[in-house]
Amino acid sequence: MRIESTDLADVLLLIPQPFRDDRGLFTRTFDAEEFDAHLGTPGLSASFVQDSQSRSRRGVVRGLHGRSGRGEAKLVRCAHGVVHDVLVDIRPESPTFGEQRAFLLDDNDFRHLYVPPGFLHGFQALTEVADVCYRIDRPHDPAEDLAVAYDDPDLAIAWPEPVTVVSRRDAGAGSWPELLATHHLTPRS
């Protein structure tokens, strides 16, 4: 597995190296020893305590979701299909505060993202079915949920396909300026 930095501070792209032959393929999608060694943080991978999976139809957008308080770290990968995955940095002390990046995650290259605490996350399914798996470092606490509308004009995220379905919760999410004001998120000089 290769691990690469991205141009969003502290976000990593994990790139498995699949072995392909006439039977199909085999790949290791995560290696705790390599992950911890890359970060220089022994035992960090052991902090992942919850695995979740979602299944979405083409055009569905899930997000933009985050957590307040200590936030949450997660590993995100697409186990089936293709998704347009979006991150927005909401860490006031970060050099990439307020910036967003999109990543293509699929079931061919098996790339996945390490997302440290302090990001909004969302994705759009680009195939008829897309399964996304999340490995999260903290149990879910609904009292810490954050959400910004997927179509917020200040973020102006360029979803690659027409949005077909969003949850009621995501449709009613607040705006980027509301999140900044409510949680006193301003860049620190």
pLDDT digits (tens, 9 = 90+) for 49-98: 888 899 999 999 999 999 998 899 999 999 999 999 999 999 999 999 99
Q: How confident is the model at residue 7 (pLDDT cuts 50, 70, 90)?
A: very high
* Residue 140 bears catalytic tag: no
What pLDDT sits at residue 29?
78
What pLDDT sits at residue 2?
87
**Tokens encoding 178:** 């509301």
What pLDDT sits at residue 189?
60
pTM, 2 dp? 0.88
Q: Please report, rounded to a whole number, the percentage of residues in the chain having pLDDT higher than 90.
A: 68
What digits encode the pLDDT tens for the residues 143-166? 999 999 999 999 999 999 999 999
What pLDDT sits at residue 75?
94
* Residue 65 bears catalytic tag: yes
What pLDDT sits at residue 159?
98
Active-site choice (38, 65, 121, 183): 65
* CATH code assigned to 48-182: 2.60.120.10
Exposed, middle or buried by CB within 10 Å (0-12, 13-18, 19+), for 9?
A: middle
What digits encode the pLDDT tens for the residues 103-130? 999 999 999 999 999 999 999 999 999 9
What pLDDT sits at residue 41?
73
Active-site choice (134, 140, 150, 183): 134
pLDDT tops 80 at residue 42: no
Query: Taking the domains of the chain in order of start, what are their residue ranges?
Result: 48-182
Q: How confident is the model at residue 18 (pLDDT cuts 50, 70, 90)?
A: confident
